[in-house]
Amino acid sequence: MTKGRGAARNSKEVLKPVDDRKVGKRKAASKPEKNTAQKSKKAKKDPNKPKRPPSAFFVFLEEFRKTFKEENPNVKAVSAVGKAGGEKWKSLTKAEKAPYEAKAAKRKAEYEKLINAYNKKQASSADDGDDESDKSKSEVNDDEDDEEGHEEDDEDDDDEEEEDDD
């Protein structure tokens, strides 16, 4: 179940390009509403709140966007990159997505750490805390030196690899 998340909508997306993308009108976190005046302190934006970590697809997209724009400098529609990226993503094999997933996992790890600090901060300033005391600054720290670089070693037979099976 841990990795069976996508199984929910993973019925037969290959048959249909897009299932029911209800994301049709889901605005990003930029502006949830036209709330011009959020007097409520509760509705205050959270500058410290870490955004969700980019999934492997997004990590791949970041690089894909550069390539796509280089090969298609005329294309400026984000949707074009999204479609092309999505199609390409499906074309990628697990082994190719591995490095992206690895990076995504790394992002998630950092996100959890940030969330932890964020939660702590929220707890700390649960009542009023507008000026957050930087007491947890020592907590989260730059601690990355060498990551990845070992992991993918030998991919002889990937049982979960389903690409050339038609």
Query: Where does this chain bind DNA (CB under 7 A)?
Result: 1, 5-6, 8, 13, 17-18, 21-32, 34, 51-58, 61-62, 65, 69, 76-79, 81-83, 85-87, 89-90, 101, 104, 108, 111, 115
Contact 93, 161 (CB under 8 A): yes
68 versus 131: smaller Cβ distance to DNA: 68
CB of 143 to DNA, least distance (A): 19
C-alpha–C-alpha distance, residues 43 and 31, integer Å:
12
108 versus 120: smaller Cβ distance to DNA: 108
103-135 b/e with 16+ CB inside 10 Å = b? bbeebbeebeebeebbeebeeeeeeeeeeeeee
CB of 46 to DNA, least distance (A): 10
47 versus 156: smaller Cβ distance to DNA: 47
61 versus 121: smaller Cβ distance to DNA: 61
Contact 102, 54 (CB under 8 A): no
C-alpha–C-alpha distance, residues 63 and 57, integer Å:
10
